[in-house]
Structure 1
Amino acid sequence: MTATTGAPSGAHSSDGQVAEVAGDPFTAVETGSAIALGVISLLIAGLLPLLLSALAEERRLSAAGIGLAAMLEALSTGLVTGLAGIVLKPRRLRLVAAVATVLLIVADLATVRASGSGVFLVRTLAGVPEGLMLWIAIGLISRTQTPERWAAVLFTGMGITQLGVATGLSALILPRFGANGGYVTLACATALAAPLCLVLPRSLGAAPGSEGGGGGAPPLRGWVALAGTLSFAASLTAVSVYILPLARQAGLSVAVGRTAISVGLGCQILGGVLATVLAGRVRYITIFWICALAFLSTWATYAVSAPAGAFVAVTGLAGLCGMLAGPFLVPMTIEADPSRRAAMQSGAVQLLAGALGPLLASFVVGDRDVHGVLVLGAGLLLLGLAVVTVLHRLAVGDRGRAVEAEGSPQQNHRALS
C-alpha cells in the first residue's frame, strides 16, 4: 500500500495550495509549472522510436545505433537528475530552468546537422538540460504528501503531450521533412518551457531524511528496490525503441508501426488516469503482476508476426500498462525505505533504465533480426518482478512482527496480574 505522511488523499491544503512534506505549501501555479517542466523534459522519451528510426531510415544511424543513441540520452538525463538530487540545493530554480531550456533548444537544433557519432554526442549533451528540468519537477513531487498521485499527474500529462506530438510527427512532419523536421518540432516544443521559468517556485524546502536539501543515501532495502525498478523499467524501454523494426519484421508497413506507437501513447493517457484513481486504493504488487502478464502477452504477439490489428492492439495495451505501473514504483520504494530517500531517486533510476534497456538491446539485435530484444525484455521483466515480490513479502513480515511485538508487553502484563 501507499506510504504517506498522514495528509488527505488529495494533498491540498484548505486554501487550495499543494502541501509540502517540509516547508511552505506550493501554489497551484507553482505546482503546475514544475510538473509541466517535467513533462517537457520527458517529451523526447515517447518520440525516440519515431525520431531514431527516421534517422536510421535516412542512413544516419544503424539498427544498433538506435539503441545506443537512446541509451546515451537517457543515461545522461538520469545521471544528471540523480546527481542533482544528491549534491545540488534546490535554489534559484527559475534561473536553472531558463538556462536548461536554452541549452536544450540548441541541442535539438544541432541534431539537424548530425549523423553517426555526431548524433550520439549531441543527444548525450541534450540529456544534461533535460536532467536539470526533470530534477526540478521530481524535487517538487517528492516533497508533496502524496507523491505517487502527483507522479501519476506527471505521467498523464506526459502521455497527452507525447501522443499529440507523435501524431503530428507521424502524419505531417516526418513524411515530408524527415528526421530533421522532427527535431525542429521538438525544439519548438521545448521553447514552451520559457514562460514556465517565470512562475516556478524560487526554491524548495528540505525533503524527509535530508539536511539542507540533500537527499542522503538510501538503506540496503532502498537500493534493492531501486535495482528492482531498474530491471522492471529497463525491460519496457528495451522493447519500446524497437517497435518499428519489429513491425517491419512482422511484414507490416512503417505506417502500421507508427500507428501502433501513436495508439500506445494514447493508451498511456488512460493508464495515467487509471493510476491517479487507483493510487492509495490498490496494492502496488497487484498492479505489477497484472501489468507483467500484459507485457509478456504483448511481446509474445510481436514474436509470432501478428497481423496489423493485433500488433496495434497489444501495443496499446502495453502503453496503458506501462503508464499504470510507473507511478506505483513510488509506493514500492517507500515501503522498502520509509525515509523516502530511495523514492527521491526513483525518477532518476527510471531514466537510467531508459539507458540500460536500449544498451542491452543493442547487443542482441542486428539489422536483419531484432527479435532478441523480446527475450531480453522478458528476462529483465521477470527479474524485476521477483525483486519487487520478495521486498513486498519482507515488508509484510516486518509489519506482522511489529504487531506481535506491540502485543507482547500487554500479554505479559495480563499474565503477571
Structure 2
Amino acid sequence: MTQTPAAEHVVHEAFGPPLTPPQASAAIAFGVVSLLISGLLAVLLGALAEEHRLSARGIGLSAMTEALTMAITTGVAGAVLKPHRLKLIGAVSSVALCATNLAVLLVHNDLQVMAVRGLCGVPEGLLLWITIGMIARTETPDRWAGVMFTALTATQLAISASMAGWVLPKLGANGGFALIGVLSLAGAPISLWLPARYPPLPKVEGETGAPPPRGWIALAGTLLYVSAASAVAIYLVPFCIQAGLPTVVARTATSFSLAAQVLGGALATVAAGRVKYFVVFVGGVVAYGAVYLVYGFAAPAWLFIAATALSGLTAIFINPFLVPMTIEADPSRRAAVQSGAVQLLGAALGPFFASRVVSQADARGALWLGMALLCSGLAVIAWLRFTRTQAVA
C-alpha cells in the first residue's frame, strides 16, 4: 500500500494511521453541523414562546428532549457501532437533520415541539459520534476539541447576526428553524471527504468495552458540570424579561456570547497542553458565579450582555478540557469516547431539572440549581485530581 508522506498530515492519531487535512476538516465540520443549533436554541425556543407556540416549561423540556436523544444516540453509537461506512452515515444523517429541522415549521404546542426536537437529536448524535471518534483517537484531543468549538462558535456567530438582524424580526421562529435546516444539508457533500473508517481502539485482554471505575467517575463530574451550564443558559430570554429588558437585548447578548465563544475556543486551543484542567474548572466556577449574580438582579442592558458574553467564553474555554480530564482518569480512552454523549446528557438533564424549579413568572430558581450543580461537579473533579497518584500506584 502506498503511504502518504507524513508532512501532508495535520492529525497524528494515537491509534491508527494519521489523517489527511481534508479528512480531519470533514470530521470537524460534522461536529459543527451537529451542534450548530446549540448556541441558538435559547433564542429560537424563546421566539416560539413569544409566538405562544411554547410555554416557559416547554422551553426547558424541548431542549432536554433534543439533548437527551442526541446523547443516547451518540452513546449507543460509540458503544455498539463500528466506525465504518462513515461517508454514508454522514450523508444520510445530514439529510435527515435538514428534514427534522424543517418539521418545526408545522408544530404549535409543547408536545409537538418536544417530539420534533427529539427527532432532531438522532441525526445530530450520529454526526457528533463521527467527530468524537476522530478527536478521541488523536494525540492532543483537547487541542482538536478547541479547534472544533472555535469553528462552531464562529459559524454560530455569523448565523446569529443574521437571525437577530433580519430572520427573526421578519420571518419569526419559522424562519430561524428553516435557516438551520437548510444549513444542515452542508454535511451531505462534506461526507465525501471523510475517511472510510477509523481504526479500532485497543482493548486489553480480559477487559470489557466499558470504562473502568475512575472513568465512570470522570463522566459523572462531566455530567454535573455541563448540566449546570445548560440549566441556566436555556432560560436567557426569561432572565432578560424579568430584568425589565426587551427581548432584543437577549438576542444581542446571544451574538456577543457567540463572539466571546470564538475567543474562548481560540484560547482553549492555545492553552491545550499548557494549562492544567483543574485550574480551568476552578476558574469556570468563579466566572459562572459572577454571571449568575447578574442574572439574578435587574441589571442594565450592557451588564446583562457582558455577563452573557462571559458565560459564553467560559463555556467554550472549559469544554475541551473535559476530554483530557477523562483520559487522565481512564488512559484506555474508553471513557473519553463516551464523553460527548455524557456532555449531551448533561445538556439534557440541566434544562429538565431547571424546568422543575422555574415558573412562567420567575425563572431564577435555575440560577440556584446551576450553582449547586457546578459545585458538585467541581468536587468530583477535585477528587479525581488529588487521588490520581494513588490510582497510578
Asked if 1:362 is matched to 2:347, the reply is no
Alignment counterpart, residue 179 of structure 2, candidates 173, 177, 185: 185
Alignment counterpart, residue 106 of structure 2, candidates 108, 113, 121: 113
The match for 1:160 is 154
Structure 2 counterparts to residues 346-357 of structure 1, below 5 A: 346-357=339-350
Counterpart of 2:275 in 1: which secondary structure? coil
Q: Is the 8 A contact 2:31 2:128 kept in 1?
A: yes
Amino acid at match of 2:104: T
Asked if 1:287 is matched to 2:280, the reply is yes
Structure 2 counterparts to residues 386-397 of structure 1, below 5 A: 386-397=379-390
Question: What CA RMSD, in Å, does the superposition of the two structures yield over aligned residues?
Answer: 1.5
Distance of 1:24 and 1:371 partners within structure 2: 50
Alignment counterpart, residue 122 of structure 1, candidates 107, 116, 121: 116
Q: Is the 8 A contact 1:208 1:341 kept in 2?
A: no
Amino acid at match of 1:272: G
Larger Rg: 1
Taking structure 1 as reference, are residues 210 and 202 closer, same or farther at Cα in structure 2, changes over 3 Å only? farther
The match for 2:38 is 45
Amino acid at match of 1:31: A
Q: Is the 8 A contact 1:142 1:207 kept in 2?
A: no
The match for 1:59 is 52
How far did residue 215 of structure 1 move? 8.8
Structure 2 counterparts to residues 7-406 of structure 1, below 5 A: 13-116=6-109, 117-209=111-203, 216-398=209-391, 402=393
How far did residue 115 of structure 1 move? 2.0
How far did residue 398 of structure 1 move? 4.3
Counterpart of 1:342 in 2: which secondary structure? helix
Describe the superposition over 1:276-335 as per-residue Cα deviations: whole angstroms up to 9, x where unpaired: 111111110001111110000100111122111111111111111111110001111111
Amino acid at match of 1:35: I
- Give the TM-score taking structure 2 as reference length: 0.96
Counterpart of 1:91 in 2: which secondary structure? coil
Amino acid at match of 1:323: I
Counterpart of 2:108 in 1: which secondary structure? coil
- Give the TM-score taking structure 1 as reference length: 0.90
Taking structure 1 as reference, are residues 178 and 215 closer, same or farther at Cα in structure 2, changes over 3 Å only? farther
Describe the superposition over 1:340-395 as per-residue Cα deviations: whole angstroms up to 9, x where unpaired: 11111111111111100000010001110000000000000000011101110001
The match for 1:3 is none
Distance of 1:89 and 1:215 partners within structure 2: 15
Counterpart of 1:132 in 2: which secondary structure? helix
Distance of 1:50 and 1:304 partners within structure 2: 21
Distance of 1:343 and 1:208 partners within structure 2: 13
Q: Is the 8 A contact 2:8 2:21 kept in 1?
A: no
Distance of 2:150 and 2:73 partners within structure 1: 23
Distance of 1:378 and 1:22 partners within structure 2: 38
Counterpart of 2:22 in 1: which secondary structure? helix
Q: Is the 8 A contact 1:256 1:308 kept in 2?
A: yes
Distance of 2:120 and 2:312 partners within structure 1: 25
Describe the superposition over 1:61-103 as per-residue Cα deviations: whole angstroms up to 9, x where unpaired: 1000000000000000111001100000011111111111111
Q: Is the 8 A contact 1:209 1:340 kept in 2?
A: no
What's the % identity of the aligned pairs?
Answer: 50
Q: Is the 8 A contact 1:210 1:216 kept in 2?
A: no
Counterpart of 2:320 in 1: which secondary structure? helix
Distance of 1:277 and 1:24 partners within structure 2: 25
Describe the superposition over 1:8-49 as per-residue Cα deviations: whole angstroms up to 9, x where unpaired: xxxx94333421222221110000011001101100111111
Distance of 2:373 and 2:78 partners within structure 1: 26
Q: Is the 8 A contact 2:147 2:269 kept in 1?
A: yes
In structure 2, runs of 5+ residues without a counterpart are none
Following TM superposition, the consecutive aligned residue runs of length 4 or more in structure 1 with deviations greater than 6 angstroms are: none
**Bigger mean CA deviation after superposition, 142-151 or 231-240:** 142-151
Distance of 1:387 and 1:313 partners within structure 2: 30
Provide the aligned length of Structure 1 versus Structure 2: 387
Distance of 2:320 and 2:11 partners within structure 1: 19
